[in-house]
Amino acid sequence: MSWLDRLRQGLSKTRQQINDTAGNLGTDLRETLTTRLDSIEDLEYALIAADVGRAATEEILSDIRASNKSNLQDALMEALTLQLEPDLRRAQFRQLGFTPDARRTVVDPRGHVVMVVGVNGVGKTTTIAKLGEYYLGRGRSVMFAAGDTFRAAAGAQLGVWGERLGIPVVQGPEGGDPAAVAYDAAAARAARGTDLLFVDTAGRLHTKHNLMEELKKVRRVIDKADPGEPADVWLVLDAVTGQNGLAQAKKFHEATPLTGVIVTKLDGTAKGGILVPIVRELGVPIKFIGVGEGAHDLQPFNPQEFVRALFDVDVPRD
Ligand SMILES: Nc1nc2c(ncn2[C@@H]2O[C@H](COP(=O)(O)OP(=O)(O)O)[C@@H](O)[C@H]2O)c(=O)[nH]1
Ligand SMILES: [Mg+2]
CATH number at residue 288: 3.40.50.300
Counted residue by residue, the chain has a size of 318
**Is residue 273 within 8 Å of 306, Cβ to Cβ?**
no
Decide whether any atom of ligand 1 lies within 6 Å of the 290 Cβ. yes
Residue 317 lies in a domain: no
d(CA 276, CA 85): 9
Judgement on whether residues 145 and 287 belong to the same structural domain of the protein? yes
Residue 98 lies in a domain: no
CA–centroid distance, 230 to ligand 2, in Å, is 19
Of 90, 105, 128, the residue that ends a domain is 90
Is the same domain home to 117 and 234? Answer: yes
- With a 6 Å cutoff on the Cβ, whether 172 touches ligand 1 is no
Phi, psi of 198 (to 5 degrees): -105, 125
Q: Which residues sit in the known binding site?
A: 118-125, 200-204, 264-267
- For residue 35, count CB atoms less than 10 angstroms from its CB and return exposed for 0-12, middle for 13-18, buried for 19 or more: exposed
166 CB neighbour count, 10 Å cutoff: 9
- Whether 266 maps to a domain, the answer reads yes
> Do 59 and 161 fall within a single domain?
no
Ligand 2 center to residue 159 CA distance, Å? 11
Q: Residue 156 domain-assigned?
A: yes
The count of domains in the chain is: 2
**288 vs 65: CA distance, rounded Å:** 31
DSSP 28: B
Do 13 and 152 reside in the same domain of the chain? no
- Is residue 97 in some structural domain? no
Domain hosting residue 135, numbered range: 113-310
Kindly give the confidence (pLDDT) of every residue in the chain, 318 residues in length, as a single tens digit, with 9 standing for 90 and above.
777 788 888 899 999 988 888 888 888 999 889 888 888 999 999 999 999 999 999 999 999 999 989 999 999 999 999 999 877 666 655 555 556 566 667 889 999 999 999 999 999 999 999 999 999 999 999 999 999 988 878 778 999 999 999 999 999 888 889 999 999 999 999 999 999 999 999 988 667 778 999 999 999 999 999 999 999 999 999 999 888 888 899 999 999 999 999 999 999 899 999 999 999 889 899 999 999 988 889 999 999 889 998 998 876 554
User: Is 101 part of any domain?
Assistant: no
Q: Are residues 67 and 172 in the same domain?
A: no
Q: Is 151 in the pocket of ligand 1 (CB under 6 A)?
A: no
Where a domain ends, among 90, 123, 140? Answer: 90
Give a yes or no: residue 227 inside a domain: yes
Distance 120 CA to ligand 1 centre (A): 10
Q: Which ligand 1 atom lies nearest to the CA of residue 121?
A: 19
Q: 211 and 66 in one domain?
A: no
* Residues 74 and 165 occupy one common structural domain: no
Measuring from atom 9 of ligand 1, which residue has the nearest CA? Answer: 123
- Tell me how far the alpha carbon of residue 233 lies from the centroid of ligand 1, in angstroms: 19
Ligand 1 atom with the smallest distance to the CA of 151 is 19
Residues at the binding site for GTP are 118-125, 200-204, 264-267
Cα 124 to ligand 1 centre (Å): 7
Question: Does residue 159's CB lie within 6 angstroms of at least one atom of ligand 1?
Answer: no
Of all protein residues, whose CA lies closest to atom 17 belonging to ligand 1? 123
pLDDT in tens, 3-32: 778 888 889 999 998 888 888 888 899 988
Residues 70 and 193 in one domain: no
> Is the same domain home to 130 and 15?
no
Cβ-count burial 173-198 (b if 16+ within 10 Å, e if not): eeeebbbebbbbbbbbbbeeebbbbb
- What CATH number is attached to the domain comprising 14? 1.20.120.140
Tell whether 14 and 55 lie within a shared domain. Answer: yes
Same-domain check for residues 255 and 170:
yes
Decide if 261 contacts 278 (C-beta within 8 A): yes
Strand partners, 145: 170, 199
Bridge partners, 116 (sequence order): 234
315 inside domain: no
Mark whether 85 and 122 lie in a shared domain: no
